[in-house]
Each structure stands twice: as C-alpha cells, then as structure tokens.
Amino acid sequence: MCDLRKEAAREDSGPALRYLDYWGLNGTPFSLSPDPAMLYLSKQHRECLIRLKFAIYSGKGGALLVSENAGDGKTSVLRRLIEDLKEELRGGLGIAFIDHPSLTPNQMVQEICGQLGVKKPARNRYESLNQLKDRLKQLDRQGIKCLIIVDEGQLLASKMDTLQELRTLLNFCLSDRFLLTFILSGQKLLEEVVKDIPEFYQRLPVRFFLDSLDRPDTEALIKFRLKKVGLKNENIFAPDSYQAIFRYSRGCPRVICSLSDLCLLIGYSMRRRQLDFTVVERAQSDMVSSEEGFHYFKFLRSEEDSAEERKSRNGVL
C-alpha cells in the first residue's frame, strides 16, 4: 500500500508535464530559460559567439551585441559564452554579469565590484571605482581574464549618466592592454543610443547584430531541442508544420519555442501521433486568444480525470 501511495504521489506531483511523457521526452525541450545547453547555434549565433571570444582573447576592450527583437537569443549566447570560457580558461576567468541594469551609476559599480570579489565595496563613487581598478590589477597579475557583461542594455536608453559611468570602465587599462573586456548587450534601441555617444561607441570595436532565424534554422532549432531531451521519432512535426511555425514566429527563437511547446500540448490533448499545420494553426489561435483557451482547458480537465481514475484504481483516497 505504501508503494502505491508513493507512485500516486509521484504521478500527481507533475501532471502538467505528462504531455512530455506522451511524446517520449525526458525533459522540457522548449523552455524559455537561457540554458546554454539548449542553445541552437545557427550560423549567425555561432558567428556571434566567435566574435565575442575574439574580443576577449585579443584584448579589444569592448564589444556591442544588438538584436533586432526581444527573444532572438542574446542572453542565451552570453550564457553559452560564459560556460565556454569557464571551461577553456580553467578557473582563469573573473565575471560580472549585470542583467538588471536599472541601477544608479554608483549601484552599478558596487555590483560589479561585489561580483568580481571586492569584499566591501565603498559607497562613495570615487572610492568604489578605485577599489574596482585595484581588484582588476590584482586579477591581471594572477593571469585571470576579467569580463563584465551588461545585458538588457536598452533599459539604459534614457540613463546617460549610467552609460557614461560604464564607458569609464574602458579607461581601466595598462600601457599595453585593457584590464577587462566589457560587453554591452541589448535590443536595437541600444545601438541607436550608443551611437550618439561617439567616445563610447568607438570603444566597442567588436559588434554583432543578431537577427531572427530563417526557415531552415527554424526547423533545425526545433529538431535540435527535441533531440536534446531524448526524442527518438524525428517525424512528430510534419514537414508542413515547420513552415507554419516559421510564418507565425517570423523566426524569433522565443516565439518558435512557445509555439512548438503548445503544439506538443495540443497534439497530446487530441491524441495525435504527428503535428501538422492544422495543429500549429490551433496553437497560434490559442496564443493570441485570452478567452478561448480550449486546449489548455481540455488538457487540464483530462489530467484531473486521469488523476481521479488512478487514485480509484490504486485505492488511494
């Protein structure tokens, strides 16, 4: 009886993931979290990663990463960059990653100081900058490369004082090299703003503009992610479904993942064995509707019914 109760508890703990079992998946293929392991490296994403590494290894000082749209994969590339560098440099990397840049200039410097190992960052701006420079010199003597990344930089579009403070970080150098590599990342608005600060823009010599995926890469991304979670049947998405997903998502990786995940859910609720363009159309309809979440309702209701049946069958009340 104890084993039956444990089995029932395990099954009821995650009913919302049972649709993944239906397709034979051992994990969530289309999570929107920036997991480096799930990043599909299209040609442009691979090129982006190469350029950022070039900026770091060649000591160029600064790099600018801009995307056309939200969800094009900037943060995922940055996370992959960090993972690669940790492996390649084997402990020889100091990293400060700021993904909430809505800070005051002094708060920004204090946060960077803290992440790079300054034990008690000063509250005074001048002192905290000196602490940061001293720490960078110390790490440089130890042979440690320092990387400072500011993501979601478009949030700084109206904060010229913070942008100017970040620009001063590129003054931290020795006679023959920079003490750090600074990467500024954000959406298209960021590039327009930084261009209006020539003394900053010119110090970001490595630049990459990340665009949405094309039709072949849209299909490749879906297949890549499904394979990563153990898919054996590569044909669960019919050929015409990829075109429909591309047409609706316009190649934005975040939308591709959201739509593909919903297709899996709808296919499960309809007990389909293959997902064709009609399933994609229904998924698209559910995504844009706030009133007729039919497939969500049907899925959750069927899960409730299944849970009750299992409890009754196992004698668990």
pLDDT at 148 over 60: yes
Instruction: State whether 151 and 52 are in the same domain.
Output: yes
pLDDT digits (tens, 9 = 90+) for 88-99: 999 899 999 999
Total domains, the chain: 2
pLDDT at residue 295 greater than cutoff 60: no
Of 87-96, 151-160, 304-313, the poorest mean pLDDT is in 304-313
Give yes or no: residues 111 and 232 share one domain.
Answer: no
244: pLDDT strictly greater than 50: yes
Decide which of 210, 228, 253 is a domain's last residue.
210
In this prediction, residue 65 carries a pLDDT of 97
Domain span at residue 100 reads 43-210
The answer to whether residues 218 and 251 touch, using CB atoms and an 8 Å cutoff, is yes
Give percent of the chain with pLDDT exceeding 70. Answer: 86
The yes-or-no verdict on residue 314 having pLDDT over 60 is no
**Secondary structure (DSSP) of 77-137:** HHHHHHHHHHHHHTT-EEEEEES---S-HHHHHHHHHHHTT-SS--SSHHHHHHHHHHHHH
Beta bridge partners of 131: none
Q: Do residues 240 and 96 both lie within one domain?
A: no
Q: What is the pLDDT of residue 12?
A: 47
Identify the domain boundary among 182, 210, 238: 210
> What 3-state DSSP class applies to 64?
strand
Contact 60, 205 (CB under 8 A): yes
pLDDT in tens, 98-137: 998 888 899 999 999 999 999 898 888 889 999 999 999 9
Query: Do 94 and 29 share a domain, yes or no?
Result: no
pLDDT surpasses 80 at 160: yes
In this predicted structure, the answer to whether residue 289 has a pLDDT above a threshold of 70 is no
- Min mean pLDDT across 137-146, 149-158, 254-263, 287-296 is at 287-296
pLDDT at residue 312 in the model: 52
304: amino acid identity, one letter: E
Task: Give the pTM.
Answer: 0.84
Residues 60 and 161 in one domain: yes
Question: Do residues 148 and 182 lie in contact, with contact meaning Cβ atoms separated by under 8 Å?
Answer: yes
The CATH number that applies at residue 206 is 3.40.50.300
How much of the chain exceeds pLDDT 90, in percent? 70
Identify which of 16-20, 23-27, 30-34, 63-67 has the greatest average pLDDT.
63-67
Torsion, Cα 265 267 271 275, to 10 degrees, reads -150
